[in-house]
């Protein structure tokens, strides 16, 4: 069964802010490491059936720069590795 998660990136200004928003919006385990490697691990281990929609991404893209680019790459790779994981970014 698909689980849909909407994550608003309009107010995200730092990597720590992004991680806090992910913890708030996704069913991440208590031991989640609050970094991109930990996110990849969770997505590939538990993300089957997840549909994650990041919106207002242009704000985070501008503020986070290379960290945002790394997030996009990570999400693309995780979605390729997990059969039923969908991740989309809307600017």
Per residue in 13-59, pLDDT tens? Answer: 999 999 999 999 999 999 999 999 999 999 999 999 999 999 999 99
The token pair at 58 is 């242009």
Number of compact structural domains in the chain? 1
Phi and psi angles of residue 34, each rounded to the nearest 5 degrees, phi first:
55, 45
* Backbone CA torsion sign across 30, 33, 35, 38: negative
The pTM assigned to this predicted structure is 0.93
CATH number, position 74: 3.30.370.10
The residue segments making up the domain with residue 25 are 3-90
Is the pLDDT assigned to residue 1 strictly greater than 90? no
């Amino acid at each position: 069964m698909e689980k849909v998660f909407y994550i608003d990136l309009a107010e995200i200004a730092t990597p720590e802010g992004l991680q806090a928003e992910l913890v708030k919006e996704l069913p991440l385990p208590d031991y989640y490491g609050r970094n991109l490697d930990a996110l990849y691990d969770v997505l590939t281990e538990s993300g089957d059936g997840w549909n994650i929609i990041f919106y207002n991404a242009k704000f985070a893209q501008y503020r986070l720069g290379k960290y945002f680019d790394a997030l996009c790459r990570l999400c693309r790779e995780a979605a390729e590795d997990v059969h039923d994981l969908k991740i989309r970014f809307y600017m």
